[in-house]
Amino acid sequence: MTDPIETWTAELSADPDSLVFLQLGEALRRRRLLDGALAVARGGAQRYPELADAHDLLARILSDRGEGDAAFDAWTMALRLKPEMVGALKGIGFLCYRMGDFVHALRQLEAAAALVPDDPTIGVAIARVKARLEEQASGLPADPFLGTEGWHGATMLLDARGRRLAGSLLSPDGDDRSDAIAAQLTGVSREASRAAILLDLGYWQSIQVEGRSAQLVLTEPAKETVLVIQRPADTPVGRLPLIADRAGAMARRWLERMA
Amino acid sequence: MRQFLTETLDQLTRADGVRGALLVAAEDGLVIAEAAMDGVEAAPVAALAASLAGRLLKVAETAGQAPPALIHLEATEGGLFIAIGESGLLLVAVTTADANAGEVRLALLDGAGRLS
């Protein structure tokens, strides 16, 4: 069976004016081939500057790459061309949520819900945003990492038994995976301690995980807690311990306030 | 094949601060080959590396991210590096605290790439 990416690539190569770039860019994005996807989407948006779908595709790819500001601009352009574009409204809502700007996130999502009232994913997103707004209104610092660009939705504190204490981890599509990931990390600090002792390495300080689409750092900012930090793959490796130190200090302050 | 594996491990142990290197089957944590394990028993290292890699592969999947390529457990007196090859093999290095982490990281990624 022929890979559709190959077919669409050949089609686009034979006819650069073809709208197949929309399918090709999305397929590459889904396979996390983000550099290729970006090149295809940029080419398409330049060739069809009045096509809202081209800017929407570009925005999704930029968002996946962690380029929130550029994604915001591309979705804004898509909405200028097509104000009823639900994907762009959801996209901007997601970016606002990730930034901790829940008021604007809610506004965008409610506009999307008015266009497609039967879409259950929008209903779930609205409920989540409203919950965060309520947390904010109650004065409880529910997310110690709120307001720091790129941290919301990418930084989470959990206890040693795999329960989330604060923060959250969102998938590239904006799904909240926090609790599932927290459960999978149950006992990870014990495992790391055991490994370090057995190998005569002293006390464990961090675990860095490098992937093609993201990097992850785990640390133990306070006893019986684990901090999980997710960053885009292109974050310089040497910067991760600095980010982890800063997040650890924020987590410790938050824990002291909660005690 | 055996010679190729030995060469890959030997190259890794030439990096500054590497106490030992081994090749591990990701699925069951068994040692396939090892080199210069300075005061470290290979079998427990292999089991720990496979367990940690397995857990973090699942986490990446749940997070909707691509599988990890490299894991670095950093401790006060040294580190454990695990490169995950596409062939189901793990290339593992145990290092001292003053190891050149950048060099070890690149050597592991290079080695894991050649194993795939």
Whole-number mean pLDDT of chain A? 88
Helical pair A86-99 and A102-115, crossing angle rounded to 10 deg? 160
- Least confident interval from A215-219, B5-9, B42-46: B5-9
Q: Which of A81, A108, A138 is the last residue of a domain?
A: A138
A39 and A65 Cβ atoms separated by less than 8 Å:
no
Is there a single domain that holds both residue A50 and residue A132? yes
Report yes or no on A143 lying in a domain: no
Look at A10 and A259; give whichever has higher pLDDT.
A10
Q: Which of A113, A138, A163 is the last residue of a domain?
A: A138
Is there a single domain that holds both residue A13 and residue A108? yes
Closest CA to B96 of B33, B29, B34, B38: B38
Residue of A nearest to B46 (CA): A195
Report yes or no on A184 lying in a domain: yes
Separation between Cα atoms, residue A8 and residue A21, nearest integer Å: 7
- Whether chain A has a CB inside 8 Å of the CB on B100: the answer is no
Is there a single domain that holds both residue A96 and residue A174? no
Report yes or no on A48 lying in a domain: yes
The pLDDT-based confidence of A174 (bands split at 50, 70, 90) is confident
Contacts of A204 in chain B (CB under 8 A): 73-75
Q: What is the pLDDT of residue B116?
A: 67
Report yes or no on A146 lying in a domain: no
Q: What is the pLDDT of residue B114?
A: 81
A56-113: pLDDT as tens digits:
999 999 998 888 889 999 999 999 999 999 999 999 999 988 888 888 999 999 999 9
- Whether chain A has a CB inside 8 Å of the CB on B98: the answer is no
**Would the CB atoms of B66 and A214 count as touching at under 8 Å?**
yes
Report yes or no on A164 lying in a domain: yes
- Whether chain B has a CB inside 8 Å of the CB on A30: the answer is no
Q: Which of A138, A162, A197 is the last residue of a domain?
A: A138
What is the interface size between A and B, counted as CB pairs within 8 Å?
122
Q: Tell me, yes or no, if the pTM score tops 0.90.
A: no
Range of the domain at A195: 154-258
| Residue A125 in this model has a pLDDT that exceeds 60 | yes
| Residue A209 in this model has a pLDDT that exceeds 60 | yes
The pLDDT-based confidence of A16 (bands split at 50, 70, 90) is very high
Separation between Cα atoms, residue A238 and residue B74, nearest integer Å: 13
| Residue A33 in this model has a pLDDT that exceeds 70 | yes
Q: Is A70 exposed, middle or buried (0-12, 13-18, 19+ CB in 10 A)?
A: middle
Report yes or no on A148 lying in a domain: no
Q: What is the pLDDT of residue A100?
A: 80
- Whether chain A has a CB inside 8 Å of the CB on B1: the answer is no
**Would the CB atoms of B59 and A181 count as touching at under 8 Å?**
yes
Contacts of A194 in chain B (CB under 8 A): 48
Its ipTM equals 0.93
Q: What are the structure tokens assigned to A182, written together?
A: 């927290």
Residue of A nearest to B48 (CA): A195
Burial A170-190 (b: 16+ CB within 10 A, else e): bbbebebbbbbbbebbbebbe
Is there a single domain that holds both residue A109 and residue A212? no
- Between the two ends of chain B, the Cα-to-Cα distance in Å is 13
Helical pair A120-138 and A102-115, crossing angle rounded to 10 deg? 150
| Residue B108 in this model has a pLDDT that exceeds 60 | yes
B93 and B108 Cβ atoms separated by less than 8 Å:
yes
The pLDDT of A232-252, averaged and rounded, is 86
Q: How many CB atoms lie within 10 A of CB B38?
A: 10
CATH code of the domain covering residue B13: 3.30.450.30
B56-89: pLDDT as tens digits:
999 999 988 889 999 999 999 999 999 998 888 9
Is there a single domain that holds both residue A15 and residue A80? yes
The pLDDT-based confidence of A235 (bands split at 50, 70, 90) is confident
List of residues 6+ apart from B43 with CB closer than 8 A: B31
8-state DSSP, A238: G
Look at A235 and A152; give whichever has higher pLDDT.
A235
Residue B54 corresponds to which amino acid? Answer: G
Range of the domain at B15: 2-115
Q: What is the pLDDT of residue A150?
A: 64
* Helix, strand or coil, per DSSP, at residue B91: strand
Q: What are the structure tokens assigned to B79, written together?
A: 């580190």
Residue of B nearest to A231 (CA): B65
| Residue A149 in this model has a pLDDT that exceeds 60 | no
Q: How many domains does chain A have?
A: 2
Q: How many domains does chain B have?
A: 1
| Residue A147 in this model has a pLDDT that exceeds 60 | no
Give just the sign of the alpha carbon dihedral A47, A234, B84, A191: negative
B4-37: pLDDT as tens digits:
777 888 888 888 899 999 999 999 999 998 887 7
A19 and A43 Cβ atoms separated by less than 8 Å:
no
A210 and A238 Cβ atoms separated by less than 8 Å:
no
**Would the CB atoms of B62 and A181 count as touching at under 8 Å?**
yes
A119 and A127 Cβ atoms separated by less than 8 Å:
no
Is there a single domain that holds both residue A26 and residue A61? yes
Residue of A nearest to B109 (CA): A210
| % pLDDT > 90, chain A | 47
Separation between Cα atoms, residue A146 and residue A1, nearest integer Å: 47
Q: What is the pLDDT of residue A141?
A: 59
Report yes or no on A159 lying in a domain: yes
Q: What is the pLDDT of residue A25?
A: 95
CATH code of the domain covering residue A47: 1.25.40.10
Is there a single domain that holds both residue A161 and residue A233? yes
Is there a single domain that holds both residue A114 and residue A18? yes
Q: What is the pLDDT of residue A37?
A: 95
The pLDDT of A151-161, averaged and rounded, is 84
Helical pair A21-30 and A4-14, crossing angle rounded to 10 deg? 140
Report yes or no on A144 lying in a domain: no
